[in-house]
């Protein structure tokens, strides 16, 4: 038997819940990290770019700047100017001095040597200085080709969100814009931290899934096995497959106290079920025995053990259409005198012996019954006329030759008058057959008793 249910599996539900909780935890962690980066790092990077740009611009727009670099005014600054190299170094210091973390080699840090080797940096500053149509300065780490915007995009295509460039215009004394400083904080160490964080998150997810597997195997597995065993026990109970359960009881893992309690209660249910089934079996046996007794009493004559009249009619009802049909009625001759002489006990002995002769003479498919008092009936089909006559005569002779032992060591014999209704191709109802057989029986009684009369062979006078 297949058991269908619309409910989800507990094991799948637990595993999905654990996996979903793990995934949710990782996603929440990722969202928190992203929010921190967005809320904290991006403004700090833009603020740093703004500070660098304004620091560079303050130097360039200070009154002493032209004099210190050997030029008459700021617009005259160009690579050909005598102080350009000095100015270049000034801008470069804005880029490198305050934002370097030297490599650690043993106990001594490596000093920055003003070269272009890239030490590990908390922040790297990208600076582009334009004056008029000239680009006076571009950070060495940017691509030398293309415009400043293209170089910044090429360098930082993955980090536009976190370090957007800051544009600071250079204005002369008359308020005219004569140049532009573009500054941007590029945080390589921070990017590495984010990458490492992503890897750690991935490893954390894998670790959580592995922990889920261990929890499922170590904690949840026994629980699910026990519940599955209980489910199988109740299925077998529902299907009626209980013999082994009754014999061996519940065989299951009891990994937790709750499961053990359920198993104990289930064992009690099985024991009670066994007791009730045994009681039910006993009741069924008693009812079956009572049914047999009642059926016997309702269908069998208590004295002769022959079919009573009602059951006799039930048995022959479906055979009235068969060919070669014979209904024979028998009456013990002078039975009242036997009762008067030997008492009812003697009469009962005669009736029992008479019934035995009938059963011995007509076995097989013949139906033999007692219609009441000393009247008996025999019904049979598929008999030829000769078989009918010889059988009836043989029965009469057997009755005549029988000796019945009465109480008090007495033995007597009896005779019987027999009337037969025979129909080779029956088109009659049972009532019509019975009338014919009864008329033939009456003729046998009237013409001397101890004889067989077949209906239609002698002059008949219907009783009454």
Helices (H) and strands (E) in the chain, counts: 13, 14
Q: 172-181: which pairs have CB atoms within 8 A and are 24 or more residues apart?
A: 172/73, 172/74, 172/75, 178/74, 178/75, 178/131, 178/132, 179/60, 179/74, 179/129, 179/130, 179/131, 179/132, 180/129, 180/130, 181/53, 181/56, 181/57, 181/60, 181/127, 181/128, 181/129, 181/130
Question: How many Cβ atoms from other residues are within 10 Å of residue 97's Cβ?
Answer: 11
Pairing mode, if any, of strands 124-131 and 177-186?
A: antiparallel
81's tokens? 């100017």
* Token code pair at residue 86: 């000095």
User: Rounded CA gap, 82 and 88, in Å?
Assistant: 12
Report, in angstroms and rounded to the nearest whole number, the Rg of the chain calculated over CA atoms: 61
Catalytic one among 75, 114, 374, 431?
374
The two beta strands, 325-332 and 177-186, are unpaired
Q: Is 229 helix (H, G, I), strand (E, B) or coil?
A: helix
Q: Are 136 and 38 in contact (CB under 8 A)?
A: no
374 is catalytic: yes
**Is there a contact between 149 and 138 (Cβ–Cβ < 8 Å)?**
no
Catalytic residues, by residue number, are 374
């Amino acid at each position: 038997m297949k058991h269908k249910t619309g409910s989800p599996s507990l094991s799948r539900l637990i595993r999905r819940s654990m996996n979903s909780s793990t995934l949710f935890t990782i996603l929440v962690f990722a969202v928190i990290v992203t929010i921190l980066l967005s809320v904290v790092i991006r403004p700090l990077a833009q603020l740093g770019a703004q500070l660098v740009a304004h620091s560079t611009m303050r130097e360039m727009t200070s009154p002493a700047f032209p004099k210190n670099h050997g030029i008459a005014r700021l617009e005259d600054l160009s690579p050909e100017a005598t102080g350009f190299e000095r100015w270049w170094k000034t801008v470069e210091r804005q880029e490198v001095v305050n934002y370097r973390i030297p490599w650690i080699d043993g106990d001594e840090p490596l000093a920055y040597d003003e070269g272009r080797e890239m030490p590990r940096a908390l922040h790297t500053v990208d600076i582009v200085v334009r004056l008029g149509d000239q680009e006076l300065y571009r950070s060495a780490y940017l691509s030398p080709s293309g415009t400043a915007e293209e170089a910044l995009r090429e360098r930082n295509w993955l980090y536009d969100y976190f370090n957007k460039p800051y544009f600071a215009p250079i204005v002369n004394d008359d308020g005219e814009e004569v140049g532009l400083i573009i500054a941007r904080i590029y945080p390589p160490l921070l990017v590495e931290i984010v990458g490492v964080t992503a890897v750690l998150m991935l490893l954390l997810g894998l670790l959580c899934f592995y922990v889920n597997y261990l929890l499922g195997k170590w904690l949840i597995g026994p629980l699910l096995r026990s519940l599955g065993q209980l489910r199988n026990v109740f299925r077998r109970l529902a299907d009626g497959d209980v013999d082994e359960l009754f014999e061996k009881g519940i065989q299951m893992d009891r990994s937790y106290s709750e499961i053990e309690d359920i198993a104990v209660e289930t064992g009690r249910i099985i024991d009670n079920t066994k007791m009730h089934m045994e009681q039910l079996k006993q009741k069924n046996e008693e009812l079956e025995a009572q049914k047999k007794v009642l059926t016997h009493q309702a269908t069998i004559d208590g004295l002769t053990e022959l079919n009573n009249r009602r059951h006799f009619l039930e048995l022959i009802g479906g055979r009235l259409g068969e060919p070669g049909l014979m209904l024979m009625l028998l009456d013990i001759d002078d039975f009242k005198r036997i009762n008067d002489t030997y008492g009812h006990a003697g009469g009962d002995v005669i009736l029992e012996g008479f019934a035995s002769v009938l059963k011995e003479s007509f076995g097989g498919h013949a139906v033999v019954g007692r219609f009441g008092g000393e009247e008996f009936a025999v019904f049979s089909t598929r008999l030829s006329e000769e078989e009918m006559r010889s059988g009836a005569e043989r029965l009469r002779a057997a009755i005549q030759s029988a000796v019945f032992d009465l109480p008090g060591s007495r033995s007597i014999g009896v005779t019987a008058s027999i009337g037969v209704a025979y129909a080779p191709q029956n088109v009659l109802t049972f009532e019509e057959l019975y009338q014919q057989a009864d008329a033939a029986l009456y003729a046998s009684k009237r013409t001397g008793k101890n004889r067989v009369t077949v209906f239609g062979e002698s002059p008949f006078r219907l009783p009454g």
